[in-house]
Structure 1
Amino acid sequence: MGEEFHHGVVMREYDPNRDRERVEEVERICEVGPSGKLCIFTDLLGDPICRVRHSPSFLMLVAEIGDEIVGMIRGCIKTITCGKKLSRNTKHSNTSNTGNSNRHLPVYAKVAYILGLRVSPSHRRMGIGLKLVHRMEAWFRDNGAEYSYMATENDNLASVKLFTDKCGYTKFRTPSILVNPVFAHRLTLSPKVKIIHLTPSQAETIYRRRFATTEFFPRDIDAVLNNKLSIGTFLAVPDSATWQGTDHFLSDPPKSWAILSIWNSKELFTLQVRGASRVKRTLAKTTRVVDKALPFLRLPSFPDFFRPFGFHFMYGIGGEGPEAVKMVKSLCDFAHNVAKERDCGAVVTEVSGQEPLRFGIPHWKMLSCPEDLWCIKRLGEDYSDGSVGDWTKSPPGISIFVDPREV
């Protein structure tokens, strides 16, 4: 049974057997973008709860009036890094990509994430969205979450106003979403870079030792790397380097190196660009025809984004050394070729706006979002470690670790 409030709206937990088709219909009618702009629309594959079910703890709520679903919200809870503290025992401490963080240990917090808030256009301005957020936050608190955060487009004024003015959230981080098309031809990889496919165990060791103090790093990184949607983790080193295992790499790394992992978002949902004129569609098709007929020219053709397409998400991007940016570029080119083999239309990632390695990540500005907006709220007073204080007031770090389960 659900909880009823004014206007006869009932809030209850999502039931896939009775709600799936009605929820998908609300998703479709809510996907209305601004006039005259290229807009990306989401088409979920399988159960609508799939976008959170890979998290340790998750919930989806719906709002209904009679037999009609008029709104829904998804949420998940996990333990992530919210800061770092000095270690009293440097010998066994974790390290991160700062180069000198072997004296620091991560400070973890139980954090909740809100996504997929939708209210049917015909039932807006009735307080349904606000009620859904409050119900989800109550579930967060009941399950011990210390913070709640959400992501939205910086220019989505309605969403920003709801969370900041009515729900008590504050603007927290502004990462960049970078999107690169997958072309009709394979990209040529640098012969000066060797790419090593790591096992999940090897990848976990490197991530925990080098990136555990990075903001938003998931404590259950092993669950992410071993998930069926994780295609793999890849390490780029100079061609002259030899791979002798993670212990040797961590104790004596090459002068420059980089790492990233790939997540198969194509299995969860597809995207589609709408709002383009016939002229733009024709020009895009022409680039594909020329690229396919003359692949040796390696022209940057525009994929068919006007029909539903899948994508891969790159996460855990990091590295060190004077050639780290070039190493990241090689890994991104490799990820492009992997996506081409799997018939994806794009490769996507999200990084901090201050991330120095972003200069090695190829992307098209017309498809990317230079400023995504993350807002955060403190839910409780109890903290796993008192050395951080109020995380909502902390300054941004150089890097963030974006969990692919929340994309």
Structure 2
Amino acid sequence: MGEDECYIVVREYDPSRDITSVEEVEKRCEVGPSSGKLSLFTDLLGDPICRVRHSPAFLMLVAELSSTKEIVGMIRGCIKTVTCGKKISRNSKNNDPIATKLVPVYTKLAYILGLRVSPSHRRMGIGLKLVVTMEDWFTQNGAEYSYIATENDNRASINLFTDKCGYSRFRTPAILVNPVFAHRLTVSNQVTVIELSLSDAELLYRHRFSTVEFFPRDIDSVLNNRLNLGTFLAVPRGFYTRESWSGSDKFLSDPPESWAVLSVWNCKDVFRLEVRGASRTRKTLAKTTRVVDKLLPFLRLPSIPEVFRPFGFHFLYGLGGEGPRAAKFVNALCAHAHNLAKEKGCSVVATEVAKHEPLKDGVPHWKRLSCDHDLWCIKRLGEDYSDGSVGDWTKSPPEPSLFVDPREF
């Protein structure tokens, strides 16, 4: 790695003495997709490890100079159990082929988030040392795979993971971002939106989505998390009312032809974003759209929210549905989520979906704020000890849908 390696010490993050230094490194590192001179800056709230603390197992490491004890880098990681594919059950009653069904195949998956190296100490092997140390912890705790998400145009990050760390390109989902306007959006009068109880939401997800890639085995923990703001089901008007809803059991036994579901996660209480590098002209134009929208909300004019100062957002996850009108029902749910975000003081709502997600057309978004090609890279850490043999997951073709865990967004 070079002569400087011996002066770098990688150790576990200690909030009692490291929080200020870590925040300084975060401020020096501009992250997120960029366009021209515009860039996104992430401002963590409270403990910098909060973005992985909600996972079953998590760790944060820092890299410091042995001579001055200055922190010059950090990395976060977590481990969970997720689905990695499908298999046909061999335990059907009397081996009746009609009774066989698809059941989830689980694997222990690690996730790397928030690798940062201070700009003044890059190209010294610090990032590689942080990744290798984190992977050692993953392996010691039984993880079978590790993956990372990065921007498709982040050459430095891609080269580090694919060229030096042995990761391979795996999935290219899309991050879809929509602004929150000063006016409320109208939810179609052909749709009824029902907020599900925690038990109904868990039952629906486990029954219909548990074989989708990356679906977490501990979905109950996700839904019960304080940051989860609710799960919402859209059905045709008249099929159910909020008063006549009698639970997911009955719904699953006789669902309507078309329906959709999604959940809302409150990222605002974990971290905030800020768009930097905008010209005064661009800021003035954005402010003008907000003023007009606020004064004349009945015109329903699209306005650019205040994104040039730290702002919060909601993340939509667990997006799914069935039927020929499912995309329209997703659109109605997104309008409902927009209005919820408006009430909570958020500037945008975002979601992440597979590249060929069938319901993608139902998600409203602004192309300029979105990222069409996020990149997930994956690495096999050891033998596959999952419940059933699916071979090497890293070589499996992409499926139409995937489940994006909000704890890692």
| Aligned twin of 2:352 | 350
Aligned residues: 396
The separation in 1 between residues aligned to 2:29 and 2:262, in whole angstroms, is: 34
Q: Mark the runs of 5 or more structure 2 residues left unpaired by the alignment.
A: none
Question: What's the TM-score once normalised by structure 2's chain length?
Answer: 0.94
SS of 1:21's equivalent in the other structure is: helix
For residue 383 of structure 1, the aligned residue among 385, 401, 407 is 385
SS of 1:225's equivalent in the other structure is: helix
Give the alignment's Cα RMSD to 1 decimal: 1.7
SS of 2:49's equivalent in the other structure is: helix
Aligned-pair distance for 1:293? 1.1
Alignment of 1:152-231 (within 5 A): 152-231=150-229
SS of 2:359's equivalent in the other structure is: helix
| Aligned twin of 2:140 | 142
| Aligned twin of 1:285 | 287
- Pick which of 14-23 and 242-251 moved more: 242-251
| Aligned twin of 1:58 | 58
Distance 1:250 1:22, change over 3 A: same
Aligned-pair distance for 1:35? 7.7
SS of 2:257's equivalent in the other structure is: coil
Aligned-pair distance for 1:386? 4.4
- Pick which of 368-377 and 82-91 moved more: 82-91
How big is each residue's C-alpha offset from its partner over 1:367-391, in whole Å with a ceiling of 9 and x where there is no partner? 0000000000000014223421000
The separation in 1 between residues aligned to 2:232 and 2:158, in whole angstroms, is: 36
Matched, 1:29 2:28: yes
Aligned-pair distance for 1:7? 3.7
Q: Mark the runs of 5 or more structure 1 residues left unpaired by the alignment.
A: 92-99
SS of 1:356's equivalent in the other structure is: coil
The separation in 1 between residues aligned to 2:99 and 2:407, in whole angstroms, is: 27
The separation in 2 between residues aligned to 1:37 and 1:101, in whole angstroms, is: 58
| Aligned twin of 2:122 | 124
How big is each residue's C-alpha offset from its partner over 1:33-82, in whole Å with a ceiling of 9 and x where there is no partner? 86833211110000000000000000000000122001100000000000
| Aligned twin of 2:233 | 235
The separation in 2 between residues aligned to 1:337 and 1:330, in whole angstroms, is: 11
SS of 1:74's equivalent in the other structure is: strand
| Aligned twin of 1:405 | 407
Aligned-pair distance for 1:6? 2.8
| Aligned twin of 1:40 | 40
Aligned-pair distance for 1:275? 1.5
SS of 2:53's equivalent in the other structure is: coil
Letter aligned with residue 86 of structure 1: I
For residue 374 of structure 1, the aligned residue among 369, 372, 376 is 376
Aligned-pair distance for 1:234? 0.4
Question: What's the TM-score once normalised by structure 1's chain length?
Answer: 0.95
Contact 2:40–2:273 under 8 Å retained in 1: yes
Distance 1:54 1:208, change over 3 A: same
| Aligned twin of 1:316 | 318
Letter aligned with residue 197 of structure 1: E
The separation in 1 between residues aligned to 2:284 and 2:248, in whole angstroms, is: 50
Aligned-pair distance for 1:162? 0.2
The separation in 2 between residues aligned to 1:175 and 1:345, in whole angstroms, is: 23
- Pick which of 234-243 and 12-21 moved more: 234-243
How big is each residue's C-alpha offset from its partner over 1:139-185, in whole Å with a ceiling of 9 and x where there is no partner? 00000000000000000000000000000000000000000000001
Letter aligned with residue 178 of structure 1: L
- Pick which of 241-250 and 76-85 moved more: 241-250
For residue 268 of structure 1, the aligned residue among 249, 267, 270 is 270
SS of 1:363's equivalent in the other structure is: coil
Aligned-pair distance for 1:318? 0.1
SS of 1:216's equivalent in the other structure is: coil
